[in-house]
Amino acid sequence: MAGFLLRRLANYAVLVVLAASLAYVLAACALNPRANLMDRSPRPSAAVVDAELTRLNLNDRTPLPRRYLTWADGVLHGDFGHTWEGESVNGEMWRRAWVSLRLLLGGAVLGGVFGVLLGAYAAVRRDRFPDRAATYGAYLLLSVPVFVLAVLLQYAAERVNAMTGTQLFAWVGESTPGAGDGTFGGLDALADRARHLLLPTLTIAFGQAALYARYQRGLMLDVLGADFVRTARAKGLTRRAALLKHGLRTALIPMTTYFSYTFGMLLLGSMFTEKIFGWHGMGEWLVDSISRGDVNVVAATACFAAVTVLLAGVFSDVLYGILDPRVRTRTR
């Protein structure tokens, strides 16, 4: 198994290098940081702009291969260069990656678990009210854009806050400044962070749950009439126990791949949620830096995305091996 994973890892690594390089070349060709610099007031002289661009390895008068090599050399040494403002990309990237992770982990896991259960339940109650309700609900959530959903949730949260007279939900940023200064110190700060997490987590969980529910429903339908579920019932398991222990357990296996990859993509794709709730994560960074023409940041986020997909792939391989004995090494 270890050997297999190493080989897979090597394949993935090649893909990451390709993806990151393409992203850099594309960003370097398409974005125009010079224009941004020229627009500053007071308008800097051409020589100053040139010097500044060269320092950041953004100068479009340097041949692209040379810029690429400079960048690649830096990346190989663990240095993603500097942002447009001249700060180190590395530090900012790590900070923002953690922000994104904090924001998404809860929502993705919650959405995954809830979606799987809902999908399985809908399959069992096929064509009856619970199934119809789940289907309509899922389609509704999938067809509503995230920002509409988020705004609706904010509106609902506001009503709840007003009705209960508390600040149960908070939805701007990660924490309220000064929350940790109260009598309970750190505990207060933690509770404050949790309150800030509630709404964005729900937003993400809803969207994810709708997707998972659809997939899981289809997978579950395949095993509902499976002979081994009937065998389990013939052994004396109730219908529900047979469906959970034998049916869902088997129908869950293909979901692992889906879950890993979706989470890997989500890390970068949650720009709407981040923007709306004022979290300064990876998605927001990517959008902002594209509009600023910040080539190094765009390349770094692309690199980050490629690596997360790689990790998701490895993770799903491992998970698959754990869940499905048929792919484990056979004893011979």
Partner 1 sequence: MNPRGIGTNVLEVQDLAVTYRPDVRAVRGVSFSVGRGQVLGVVGESGSGKTAVALAVLGLLPDRTEVTGSVRLRGRELLGLSDGEMSRIRGKDLAMVFQDPLSSLTPVHAVGDQIAEAIRIHSGATRGAARARAVELLDLVGIPDAARRARAHPHEFSGGMRQRVMIAMAVANDPLAIVADEPTTALDVTLQAQVLDVLRTAGEAAGAAILMITHDLGMVAGFADRVLVMYAGRAVESGQVEDIYRRPRMPYTIGLLRSLPRLDDAGGRPVPIDGAPPQLNALPPGCPFAPRCPIAVGACWDDEPEMLPVGRPGHAAACLNTPATRDPDAVFPLTPTELLPPIGEDDAARARTSREAVLDVKDLHRFHVEQRNSFGRGKGLLRAVDGVSFDIRAGETLGLVGESGCGKTTVLMEILAMARPRNGGRIEILGEDSAGLDGAGRKALRRNVQVVFQDPFSSLDPRMRVAAILAEPLRTHAFPSEHIPDRVQELLKLVGLEPSHANRHPYGLSGGQRQRVAIARALALEPSLVLLDEPVAALDVSVQAGVIDLLEELRARLGLAYLFVAHDLAVVRRVADRIAVMHRGRIVEIGDVEHVYEDPAHPYTCALLDAVPIPDPVLERKRGRVRLPDVPPDAPRLETGCLFRQRCPRYLALSEASRALCDREDPVSRSIDGEPDRMVACHYALGVST
Check if the beta carbon of residue 4 is closer than 8 Å to that of residue 29: no
Amino acid at 37: L
- In whole angstroms, how close is the CB of 127 to partner 1 at the nearest point? 11
Least Å distance, CB 270 to partner 1, is: 33
- Minimum CB separation of residue 109 from partner 1 in Å reads 22
Using the contact rule CB under 8 A, the part of the chain among 2-10, 17-25, 38-46, 85-93 near partner 1 is 2-10
Among 141, 237, 307, 318, binds partner 1 (CB under 8 A): 237
CB 286 within 8 A of CB 271: yes
Distance CA 297, CA 256 (A): 31
CA proximity to 203, closest of 131, 279, 258, 311: 279
> Which segments within the chain are labelled E, that is strand?
none
Phi and psi dihedrals of 82, rounded to 5? Answer: -120, 150
DSSP designation for 174:
S
Shortest Å distance, C-beta 327 to partner 1: 5
325 is an interface residue for partner 1 by CB under 8 A: yes
Q: Which residues pair with 88 in a beta bridge?
A: 82
The nearer residue to partner 1, 23 or 232, going by C-beta atoms, is: 232
Contacts of 57 (CB under 8 A, 6+ apart): 67, 70, 71, 74, 81, 296
Structure tokens at 132: 């119809």
Specify burial of residue 234 (Cβ count, 10 A radius: 0-12, 13-18, 19+): exposed
Under the criterion CB under 8 A, does residue 330 sit at the interface with partner 1? yes
Of 205 and 243, which CB lies nearer to partner 1 in the complex structure?
243
Considering the complex, state which of residue 183 and residue 329 has its C-beta at the smaller distance from partner 1: 329
Nearest to 254 by CA among 209, 223, 297: 223
Q: Is 102 one of the binding residues for partner 1 (CB under 8 A)?
A: no
Interaction residues for partner 1, span 244-273 (CB under 8 A): 246, 249-250, 253
332 touching partner 1, by CB under 8 A: yes
Q: Which is nearer to partner 1, 199 or 243 (CB)?
A: 243
Nearer to partner 1, 45 or 329 (CB): 329
Q: Decide if 131 contacts 125 (C-beta within 8 A).
A: yes
Residue with tokens 């850099």: 24
* 323 binds partner 1, rule: CB under 8 A: yes
Q: Does 77 bind partner 1 (CB under 8 A)?
A: no
- Count of Cβ atoms closer than 10 Å to residue 165 Cβ: 7
Closest CB to partner 1 among residues 43, 249: 249
In the complex, the smallest distance separating the C-beta of residue 324 from partner 1, rounded to whole angstroms, is: 6
Q: Does 327 bind partner 1 (CB under 8 A)?
A: yes
Binding mask 197-236 toward partner 1 (x if CB under 8 A, else -) reads -----------------------------xxx-xxxxxxx
Residues that bind partner 1 (CB under 8 A): 1, 3-4, 7, 226-228, 230-239, 241, 246, 249-250, 253, 323-332
